[in-house]
Structure 1
Amino acid sequence: MPQTPAPAQAPVPGAWEELVTSALLGTERRTPPGHAPGRAAPTALLDAAAVETVRRRAGLRPARSAERLEPAPEDPRPPLPAAAARRLTMLLADRPGTAGGGRRGTAPDLMELLPQWLAAANARGFAAPPQTLPALLDAARGRTDLRPATLTFAGPRALWLARLNPDWRFALRAAPGGGAALPRPEDTARVRQLWEEGLFAERVALLAALRARDAAGARELLASTWPTERAEDRLMFLDSLRTGLGPQDEPFLERALADRSRNVRATAAELLSALPGSALAARMAARALTCVSVDRTGAAPAIVVEAPHECDADMERDGVVPKPPAGRGERSWWFGQLVEAAPLGTWPARLGGRTPEEIVALPVADDWQSELHAAWCRAAVRQRDAGWARALLGSPTAPEAGGPGAVSLAERAKLLGTLNAGERAEWVAGFIATHGLSEAFQLLGMCAVPWAAPLGRAVVDALNIARDAGSYPWSFSGVMGLAERCLDPSEAGRLDGLLAIPDETEDASPGAGGYWAEAFQRLVTTLRLRAAMTEELGAP
């Protein structure tokens, strides 16, 4: 007669926790439950753990299976050439060195070349190799400046991956609608639905896209919900009007001058002052003209300033901020805002028909020159007035590096942005030839890449002069880094003569010659690498 199997023992509540505690403390201090202490205790613990593991696994209830993932979308763009794909892998695998003393050696900094490589690949319309997408997203996660170019290059598959990894969620935030395609402008029903129901980021992206193609339509869409928007949202939406800003935007911006939010009012006033023909610009010009005149009673004509004595309600409505920052006087603060917002075309008639160059050259009485010239600089940048920018920049070979009057290097850098790329490069080249590199870093950052030939030659010549003078090479590390990324690769041949270690003079910094030779070797190697990168990607 067959024996009836004994019923399985019911699991003891907390048995697994007891076993874990015994394992952590040791069987000499804590005997497994139901077992005697001694030499057999460790074996008994393992046996009990094995039995309990089987019981725990057998007791699991089957869960509902997850939905199958949708396949990653296809990327219709052409694949990278094989050599370019290998180069991308090398760029992504590079990690900045940690050598002490600031010494980088002769190896190029590949991660600093990645932005340039991405821009070139995007210009040629290539798709990213699928196997590089995780490394691309990791690189963009660590460097926000890489994100726009990286996400363009990575394409729709990067967004598909970003939905699976929380570390890459920045890609979804950067893409409108989390990667969903924006409706076409002619699809008015979908545009209206997304504008009324979409997330804030989606609405910002939609408004920017519409503004680029249909400025009036975007403005009308914004006006339709303007009164019900939050103040911080109104500010962001208003900023989109900078694209394609024109006289037809004036009525909407005039209404925004009465907005509840001070920041919205200030932005509306700034946009209106960028329209020289606007009513606000005329009002600001009338106020500014009462503050500035020419005094002809002295030996030579001079500009006289009488700053406003109060900031009235109308001035506040037109964007003048009444309370100055710490350390600024009220009258000079109000005066600067009036001049900044006044159309630059109004000054020649007020100041005796003089040209901008002649106006800037006039002396300014009572120490008002700094405030007046700085305000004219801001006006030239805001109004994109190249004529006034040239006058305020002055000659790059002027003895004073600060420019005519009171124009600082920071202001000159902004003024350069109003000139075309060729003129900008020529001006900075002249500045470097006269003043060297110590004050040129900000100015170089405003120049188009690759640098034009005259600018490249000026930078190389100035570096050579600094080397021969025995200067510390690490004092020029910022310019050298710019040169690695911005110098035209065709200039590499001109640098071969600088690779040798120069003879050190008595007053030279110890070891400077070796550092300079190393820095020039790295520059040459980087330029030749950039040339190879361009060749691997092929013609645009």
Structure 2
Amino acid sequence: MDATERASDGWEPTLAAALLGAERAPTAASSALTALVAEADPSAALLARLAAEGAHHLAGQELGPEALAPLEARGRFGPDCPPAAATRLYALLTEGHGARNRVEEWFERAAATGTRPPAWLLQALMLQRGTLPAAAQAVVGADLDWLARACGESPAETGAADASDWTEGTVAERRAAFTAFRARDPEAARAALEPVFRREKADLREALLHALATGLSAADEPFLEACLDDRANGVRLAAQRLLPELPRSRYAERMAARARAALAVESKRRLLGGTTHTLVVTLPEESPDLVRDRVEPNHWERRGGGTRAGLLRAILARAPLHAFADHPPRLWIELALRSEWADPVFHGLFSAAKRTLDPDWSRAMADITAEAYEGKVTGVRRTNEVLGMWAEALDLLPDAEWEARVAALIRARKIEVVLAVLGQGPEHFSEGFSAALLDWLALVTRGSDSLRRDLAKPWVIARLGDRLWPGDDSAASAAAILARLPEGEGDRLRTQLTGLTSVLELRAAIRRDFRPETTTGGTAQG
């Protein structure tokens, strides 16, 4: 500052007055800041002047008028959320790692209601921007970019990467940029990659090859096939993971031929009518061609002496399902369960069905494993392993169909089966299924001591809080179940029900927070 600027700065006179004391200080020269001081008491007025002039002095130190620019206006991307929702978000942000799922749920609710956090929350959000859930970007990303620019920082990269961006940066940055390029134009991305691929380092080749999963199509097959002979093991593995996703590729046809050579159905007509079917299994031999296609038994299978069985399982897992088109899925699965090679054959076929999510195979898997556990498949014993197969097979079904089948099990009071299947299934339950499941929980907790012990063993209840419908009715039902739990019940079940109730009450409260206030001071229903 020059002498003229210092003379117009009220900081030094105010500081001198503070050193002299309020009663001995001369009357303050009139200024814009002095006029803002409203305190009648001289001491209070001097302190107010000191604070105002000090802030003004520091803010303008070494800065000329040309350095002062008006702040960019904060855009209007939607109305602020209700005050209760804003307060809730602040509490969730300060609770630590345990509230991460609830923060994500808060932003999902904000997106659904078209609202955003108010300005006073932006600093707290900016401090945790790197750990915010993906749902936060659509709600508050533009606001945080605005705040970053206002503070002289570079806002986060939110736009799609240019086609040329993938050629520079770290491995992670280049993979992210190439994935974005691939999402926009799969053909152009692969065409740009092929000429330079061999010149890149192994870790980058592997990362870029994984990015081809975005927009994968039959046009990628020649490039992926060539990668099977890459000198880097990670690159070969990446190609071996992607090629089974192309059901008409040369890789798939090699697997289909191997599957047909390993499995066949032998049919014979009976003298009294009808036909009997037998599964004929031919175990494959190890070969370099199988290794090239990533058909190898794992370490446990080798050590246990089941190398050829492990090869069979790996072949079936990677084979396209059209390799078994000569017979319906139901026949293959039933014969697999009856076979002396049931473990590699069934699990190989199951892996293929899981990879493709073919609806016919998925339903057949669920139907046959259910019948096997109920003792309706000749030669298959009712075991916990079969029950586990049933639970995994149900998980292949669409969410609505899974809920319908489990709801039928609930109505049939098949408690052990319901407990087994609840460990899998949809990430979030529908409102109707949640109500039925909570009714079932209430029934079981009012049953025998052994039933309650079975309910507590797998810690299934502890994981239901995130999956049940987060409404007021769900929270009230969970609280009622906890309140009616018999006195003296073990800590494990009580702890799980307490946690379930707390999570559902919090999730229901988040939804209530977003309801607009009515003119009577209550909340609107919705």
Whether the 8 Å CA contact 1:401–1:435 is kept in 2: the answer is no
Aligned twin of 2:54: none
**Structure 2: 5+ residue stretches without partners:** 1-61, 271-275, 518-523
Give the whole-Å Cα distance in 1 for the aligned partners of 2:525 and 2:72: 29
- After TM superposition, the score normalised by the length of structure 1 is 0.67
Aligned twin of 1:278: 249
Aligned twin of 1:114: 103
Q: For residues 449-495 of structure 1, what are the alpha-carbon distances to aligned partners after superposition, in whole Å with 9 as ceiling and x for unaligned?
A: 34251x21342133112311242576576425423553251643882
Give the whole-Å Cα distance in 2 for the aligned partners of 1:385 and 1:367: 26
Does 1:289 find its partner at 2:260?
yes
Aligned twin of 2:334: 361
Shift of 1:245: 2.0
Q: For residues 240-273 of structure 1, what are the alpha-carbon distances to aligned partners after superposition, in whole Å with 9 as ceiling and x for unaligned?
A: 2222322222122112222222232232223221
Does 1:381 find its partner at 2:354?
yes
Give the whole-Å Cα distance in 1 for the aligned partners of 2:493 and 2:353: 44
Give the whole-Å Cα distance in 2 for the aligned partners of 1:481 and 1:323: 32
Aligned twin of 1:331: 308
- Look up the SS of the partner of 2:163 in the other structure: helix
Task: Give the letter aligned to residue 113 of structure 1.
Answer: R
Does 1:256 find its partner at 2:238?
no
User: Structure 1's 434 and 73: CA in aligned 2 closer, same or farther, altered over 3 A?
Assistant: farther
Does 1:442 find its partner at 2:442?
no
Give the whole-Å Cα distance in 2 for the aligned partners of 1:363 and 1:450: 33
Shift of 1:137: 5.5
Task: Give the letter aligned to residue 461 of structure 1.
Answer: D
Question: Of the candidates 319, 339, 342, which is equivalent to residue 342 of structure 1?
Answer: 319
User: Structure 1's 150 and 377: CA in aligned 2 closer, same or farther, altered over 3 A?
Assistant: same
Whether the 8 Å CA contact 1:499–1:518 is kept in 2: the answer is no
Shift of 1:385: 1.3
Shift of 1:234: 1.9
Does 1:216 find its partner at 2:187?
yes
Give the whole-Å Cα distance in 1 for the aligned partners of 2:513 and 2:355: 38
Whether the 8 Å CA contact 1:226–1:234 is kept in 2: the answer is yes
Does 69-78 or 422-431 show the bigger shift? 69-78
Shift of 1:502: 3.4
Whether the 8 Å CA contact 2:362–2:393 is kept in 1: the answer is yes
Whether the 8 Å CA contact 1:344–1:380 is kept in 2: the answer is yes
Please show how residues 86-97 of structure 1 align to structure 2 within 5 Å.
86-94=87-95
Q: CA RMSD in A?
A: 4.5
Aligned twin of 1:135: 124
Whether the 8 Å CA contact 1:303–1:364 is kept in 2: the answer is no
Shift of 1:276: 1.3
Please show how residues 51-130 of structure 1 align to structure 2 within 5 Å.
74=74, 76-83=76-83, 84-94=85-95, 112-123=101-112, 126-130=115-119
Aligned twin of 2:294: 319
Shift of 1:223: 2.0
Aligned twin of 1:307: 283
Q: For residues 61-114 of structure 1, what are the alpha-carbon distances to aligned partners after superposition, in whole Å with 9 as ceiling and x for unaligned?
A: xxx99x999978955522432333233223334469xxxxxxxxxxxx866422
Give the whole-Å Cα distance in 1 for the aligned partners of 2:167 and 2:345: 46
Aligned twin of 1:12: none
Shift of 1:222: 2.3
- After TM superposition, the score normalised by the length of structure 2 is 0.68
Task: Give the letter aligned to residue 344 of structure 2.
Answer: E
Give the whole-Å Cα distance in 2 for the aligned partners of 1:413 and 1:221: 44
Give the whole-Å Cα distance in 2 for the aligned partners of 1:419 and 1:474: 27
**Structure 1: 5+ residue stretches without partners:** 1-63, 97-108, 184-189
Whether the 8 Å CA contact 1:266–1:319 is kept in 2: the answer is yes
Aligned twin of 1:17: none
Q: For residues 171-217 of structure 1, what are the alpha-carbon distances to aligned partners after superposition, in whole Å with 9 as ceiling and x for unaligned?
A: x9xx9xx526334xxxxxx522x232344333222222222232212
Give the whole-Å Cα distance in 2 for the aligned partners of 1:308 and 1:513: 49
Give the whole-Å Cα distance in 2 for the aligned partners of 1:264 and 1:284: 20
Q: For residues 251-308 of structure 1, what are the alpha-carbon distances to aligned partners after superposition, in whole Å with 9 as ceiling and x for unaligned?
A: 2211222222223223222322122111111111111211112345799533132211
Give the whole-Å Cα distance in 2 for the aligned partners of 1:401 and 1:236: 46
Whether the 8 Å CA contact 1:310–1:331 is kept in 2: the answer is yes
- Look up the SS of the partner of 1:293 in the other structure: strand
Please show how residues 152-301 of structure 1 align to structure 2 within 5 Å.
152-156=138-142, 158=144, 179=157, 181-183=159-161, 191-192=163-164, 194-296=165-267, 300-301=276-277
Give the whole-Å Cα distance in 1 for the aligned partners of 2:209 and 2:123: 36
Give the whole-Å Cα distance in 2 for the aligned partners of 1:420 and 1:389: 9
Task: Give the letter aligned to residue 386 of structure 1.
Answer: P
Give the whole-Å Cα distance in 2 for the aligned partners of 1:450 and 1:257: 42
Please show how residues 381-530 of structure 1 align to structure 2 within 5 Å.
381-394=354-367, 398=371, 400=373, 418-432=396-410, 433-436=413-416, 437-443=418-424, 446-453=425-432, 455-469=433-447, 470=449, 471=452, 475=457, 478-483=460-465, 485-489=467-471, 491-492=473-474, 495=477, 498=480, 501-502=483-484, 504=486, 509=489, 522=502, 525-526=505-506, 528-530=508-510
Task: Give the letter aligned to residue 278 of structure 1.
Answer: S
Whether the 8 Å CA contact 2:244–2:252 is kept in 1: the answer is yes
Q: For residues 370-418 of structure 1, what are the alpha-carbon distances to aligned partners after superposition, in whole Å with 9 as ceiling and x for unaligned?
A: 1111111111122231211221222686573999879767766665565
Give the whole-Å Cα distance in 2 for the aligned partners of 1:456 and 1:396: 25
Task: Give the letter aligned to residue 426 of structure 2.
Answer: C
- Look up the SS of the partner of 1:228 in the other structure: coil
User: Structure 1's 239 and 503: CA in aligned 2 closer, same or farther, altered over 3 A?
Assistant: closer
Task: Give the letter aligned to residue 419 of structure 1.
Answer: L
Whether the 8 Å CA contact 1:112–1:485 is kept in 2: the answer is no
Task: Give the letter aligned to residue 428 of structure 2.
Answer: V
Q: For residues 318-340 of structure 1, what are the alpha-carbon distances to aligned partners after superposition, in whole Å with 9 as ceiling and x for unaligned?
A: 23236644645321221111111
Give the whole-Å Cα distance in 2 for the aligned partners of 1:417 and 1:442: 10
Give the whole-Å Cα distance in 1 for the aligned partners of 2:172 and 2:478: 51
Give the whole-Å Cα distance in 1 for the aligned partners of 2:180 and 2:112: 20
Shift of 1:220: 1.8
Give the whole-Å Cα distance in 2 for the aligned partners of 1:281 and 1:511: 53
